[in-house]
Amino acid sequence: MNFMLYGHRDHWIAVDCGMMIRQDLPGGPLQIPDTALLETLNIAPEALIITHGHEDHIGAAAWLWPRWGCPIHATPLAAGLLRSKFAEHGLSSHAIRVIEPGEATEVGFFTLRYLPVTHSIPESCALLIQAGDRRILHTGDWKLDPAPLLGAPVDADTFRAIAPVDLVVGDSTCAPDAGHSRSESEVSDALAEAIAPLPGRVVVSCFASNLDRVLAIGRAAERCGRRVSLMGRSMERMVRIAQGLGYLEDFPALVPVHDLGYLPPEEVLVIATGSQGEPRAALSRLAAGRHPHFELTPGDSVIFSARAIPGNERIIERLKHALRIKGITLLDDDAQPALHASGHPYQEELRTFYQWVAPERLLPVHGEARHQHAHQALAQELGIDAPLIPRNGDMLRLDDDGLVLEQHHRLTPRIIDQNRNAPVAGAGGETASRHDELFVAITVAATGLGWSRIGRLMLDDSHASPLDETALADRLDECLESAGGDSLVELREMLYPDVMAWLADHLQRVPEVHLQIFAMENQAVAGND
């Protein structure tokens, strides 16, 4: 969810403040970062710095910013999107300060320079952060697109001029992928080629905030003689704000959805939200026949111009199945890779970029653990020190001794509940009724290598949501294999966050959990062999 804090001499700034959609939970609720720890550590950001306008970088600001009331620095497009969100929440936008790409600003002991990079939304920027004699490059999301549809390619001289840097906090999303990412200009050509022979109406689904892709689709539609309509509130808002800032000037004139029925099918193209199978998004409503002004029929086509976010594969496949039942032709990047381009750097782009900025160290962020490990391996191949794979809740220190893990703090996943945030997992200090409780007890024995579970789990979940006991037991066994601790108290402190994270991933409403651990003497274990 891209919420990171940088501290120097007890002064702090926050970089980005995103959210995610929990497609694995019923209703697809929103999850935001857990910031309760900041109060415990007496951390109050003096500014919120935004790298670009994607939801996973700005989506939680309207919920979390009121706790701090600090200035928000953002480029014009991201600032416009934030103002729209704040207006929906009844918040004043007076704290939002516009900074142009390439400009610098000072916040407390920090000097920050916005360095333009190419990504799938205009005005994306890396941040050069200087505090004392340390210089950190926080890349945000980026790629090296030689022919972006919006904005200019990355200026190599700009990044060569800042070399060397002490640390790069770098995008790992496509680090396992060899070669170079595809240009958005190539996607535009591929879309036109794919759309041209299709006989009926065409719906192309992508992320609303991927403005390069939206423009590519619009241009492809115009080349194929089709009129364009937008479907989905977030899509309409994004295009409206972008056009108000001078982007998408050559975008085709739009046709209201309720007027599409007057056009021949072969002249219709709809750009719709819902590429990730979101149940309330436009594409899911079309698949279910629940749109009031537009209905898909056999002979129509749907193009998925977005890659599945890890974890969304199952719900996307259900959506595709529903479309196939209706006789809809489907096209996606599995069969036609050129229909999508990543907004993140592949290995050759990483190598080129690190030749420019000459980092002494790398902290691989973004993506999943396998992406971070691939990024770490690439850095080591290039002679860049990459000692850590960070986890959510890690407090890291950069000093003369290098980059070290100072402490790991337990974080609790939080979901949005009717315009307020609440913990996914029951946290201490809250009143809980009996039906919101789950009792878990395990028996363990100390071994030469750590701890081992003995016998079955003991569960009392009769008043809580049903869960898969076998899967939970397997998760506990995995955690026990790597758990340290010299006492049951320490072992419980290590296991508890993993139990809560597992429950948050498998239940929509996670109860108050009581985890009890009992010890079995080694002699008793030996007697059972």
Q: Do 319 and 287 form a contact (C-beta atoms < 8 A)?
A: yes
User: What is 437-519's CATH number?
Assistant: 3.10.20.580
Determine the Cα–Cα distance for residues 175 and 370; give it in Å rounded to an integer.
9
d(CA 278, CA 456): 38
Give CATH 3.10.20.580 domain extents, the chain.
Answer: 437-519
The boundaries of every CATH 3.60.15.10 domain in the chain are: 4-179+342-416
Cα 37 to Cα 33, 163, 291, distances in angstroms: 10, 35, 43
* Separation CA 383–CA 433 (nearest Å): 55
Question: What was the pLDDT predicted at 181?
Answer: 96
Q: Using CA atoms, how far apart are residues 501 and 521, in angstroms rounded to an integer? A: 29
In order along its 529 residues, the chain shows pLDDT tens digits of: 899 999 999 999 999 999 988 766 766 778 999 998 999 999 999 999 999 999 999 999 999 999 999 999 999 999 999 998 898 888 999 999 999 999 999 999 999 999 999 999 999 999 999 999 999 999 999 999 999 999 999 999 999 999 999 999 999 999 999 999 999 999 999 999 999 999 999 999 999 989 999 999 999 999 999 999 999 989 999 999 999 889 998 899 999 999 998 999 999 999 999 999 888 889 999 999 988 889 999 999 999 999 888 778 888 999 999 999 999 999 998 889 999 999 999 999 999 999 999 999 999 999 889 999 999 999 999 999 999 999 999 999 999 999 999 999 988 878 875 444 445 543 333 333 334 677 788 888 877 667 888 877 777 655 455 677 787 888 888 788 777 666 777 787 778 777 877 777 677 666 777 787 877 654 433 333 3
- Is CATH 3.40.605.10 correct for 4-179+342-416? no
Burial class (CB in 10 A: 0-12, 13-18, 19+), 213: buried
Using alpha carbons, select from 112, 110, 114 the residue that is nearest to residue 102. 114
Distances (CA, A) of 511 to 234, 340, 477: 33, 40, 21
Q: Are 143 and 349 in contact (CB under 8 A)?
A: yes
Give 376-424 pLDDT, tens digit per residue: 999 999 999 999 999 999 999 999 999 999 999 988 878 875 444 445 5
Alpha helices in 60-110 (DSSP H): 61-64, 76-88
CATH code 3.40.50.10710 region(s) in the chain: 184-331
Q: Give the containing element (helix H, strand E) for 57.
A: helix 55-58
AA identity, residue 492: R
275: left (phi over 0), alpha (psi -120 to 50) or beta: alpha
CATH 3.40.50.10710 fits domain 184-331: yes
Secondary structure letter of residue 279 according to DSSP? T
